[in-house]
Structure formats: structure tokens, C-alpha cells
């Protein structure tokens, strides 16, 4: 299996709905099959990102509670 390049964005300290808006903009600019790692500490935004991914067809490949924040990896569809 080949390792795919991962872009990373730290959205800790930002509240819903800003993180999901930022994630949507970043994913839109990415090539299909690339991944975006998101660090986030707002639980509502974690839920928003999961709903957004389900609705748009992108895949959450990791969603892990790291204690004070969540690490979410999204793979762009395509």
C-alpha cells in the first residue's frame, strides 16, 4: 500500500460552524484521494465534520479522541 500525502490543519480553539467551513474549503482545493488531517477541540465541530463527510461522500479514515482534542483524517473522494 502506498502512503498518501497528508495536509494538516490545526483548528483548535475555533467553534462551530467555522471548522467545518474551513475543512470544506481546504478539501475542495485538494486532489482526489489526498487526505487532510484536522486537529479540533470543539465537539460540535467534530460532529459537523462527520455529517459533512457523509453528505459529500468524503471518507473519514481516522477519528480519534486525543484527550484535549480530536484528530480527524479525511480522504477526498475520487
CA distance linking residue 77 with residue 27, whole number of Å: 10
Q: Are 30 and 36 in contact (CB under 8 A)?
A: yes
Query: Does residue 5 surpass a pLDDT of 90?
Result: no
**What CA–CA distance (Å, rounded) separates 63 from 9?**
14
How many domains is the chain partitioned into structurally?
Answer: 1
pTM: 0.91
In a domain, 50, yes or no: yes
1 part of a folded domain = no
Note the pLDDT tens digit of each residue in 66-78: 999 999 999 999 8
Task: Give pLDDT, residue 1.
Answer: 35
Which CATH number belongs to the domain containing residue 55 in this structure? 3.30.110.40
- C-alpha cell, 48: 459537523
What is the residue range of 19's domain? 6-75
- Does the pLDDT value for residue 3 go beyond 90? no
Amino acid at each position: 500500500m502506498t502512503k498518501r500525502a497528508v495536509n494538516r490543519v490545526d483548528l483548535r480553539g475555533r467553534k462551530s460552524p467555522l471548522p467545518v467551513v474551513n475543512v470544506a474549503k481546504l478539501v475542495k482545493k485538494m486532489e482526489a484521494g489526498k487526505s487532510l488531517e484536522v486537529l479540533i477541540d470543539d465537539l460540535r465541530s467534530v460532529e459537523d465534520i462527520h455529517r459533512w463527510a457523509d453528505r459529500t461522500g468524503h471518507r473519514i479514515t481516522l477519528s480519534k479522541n486525543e484527550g484535549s482534542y480530536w484528530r480527524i483524517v479525511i480522504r477526498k473522494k475520487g
